[in-house]
Amino acid sequence: MGRNIYFVLLILVIMIAAGFFFMPKSSSEKGVQNKTQIIYFYSTRCPHCKNVKTFFANNDVRSKVVFDEKEISQNRDNLIQLVKIRKRCRLPVEKYISVPFLWTGSECLIGDQNIIKFFKEKI
């Protein structure tokens, strides 16, 4: 009977060790960067977006605040994500989507001055 207990314990230890070995890796280990909820949407054709870009560069914002940047005029997936976020904020989906646009993780901000103000408070 004593050998059976040791055998069961050995099997149990092996199963636990195997569970740790085959456990899914965290999102950061998989190369998925889920560091932030803040998403900045812009267009390369937008003059107000250039104001925000200049602010980012002059204040080294990218090294102080973690956020994603998504260009919408050349990337359809980014545009679709922006439309979904606008709906979440109960903003109308217009014929022309206005940028610059910022999702803070809890609210929507539209316009260069609102976005710059948000980042000034963060840095």
**Which CATH number does the domain housing residue 79 bear?**
3.40.30
If one counts the domains in the chain, the total is 1
Domain assignment of residue 8, yes or no: no
Q: pLDDT by residue for the chain (123 residues), tens digit each?
A: 567 777 766 676 676 765 555 555 443 333 333 446 999 999 999 999 999 999 999 999 999 999 999 999 999 999 999 989 988 888 776 656 789 999 999 999 999 999 999 999 999
For residue 87, the tally of other CB atoms under 10 A from its CB is: 11
Secondary structure element (H or E) that encloses residue 80, with its range? helix 76-88
Inter-helix orientation angle 112-122/47-58, to 10°: 20
Name the residue among 77, 123, 87 with its Cα closest to residue 108.
Answer: 87
Per the domain annotation, does 27 fall within a domain?
A: no
Phi, psi of 108 (to 5 degrees): -105, 135
Q: Which of 37, 45, 123 is nearest to 88 (CA)?
A: 37
Residue 22 forms part of a structural domain: no
- Per residue, the 3-state secondary structure of 24-55, as one string, reads CCCCCCCCCCCCCCCEEEECCCCHHHHHHHHH
Within a domain: 104: yes
In 3D, which of 91, 84, 95 has the Cα closest to residue 111?
Answer: 91
pTM for the structure as a whole: 0.68
Question: Does residue 32 lie in a domain region?
Answer: no
Find the domain containing 45 and state its range.
39-122
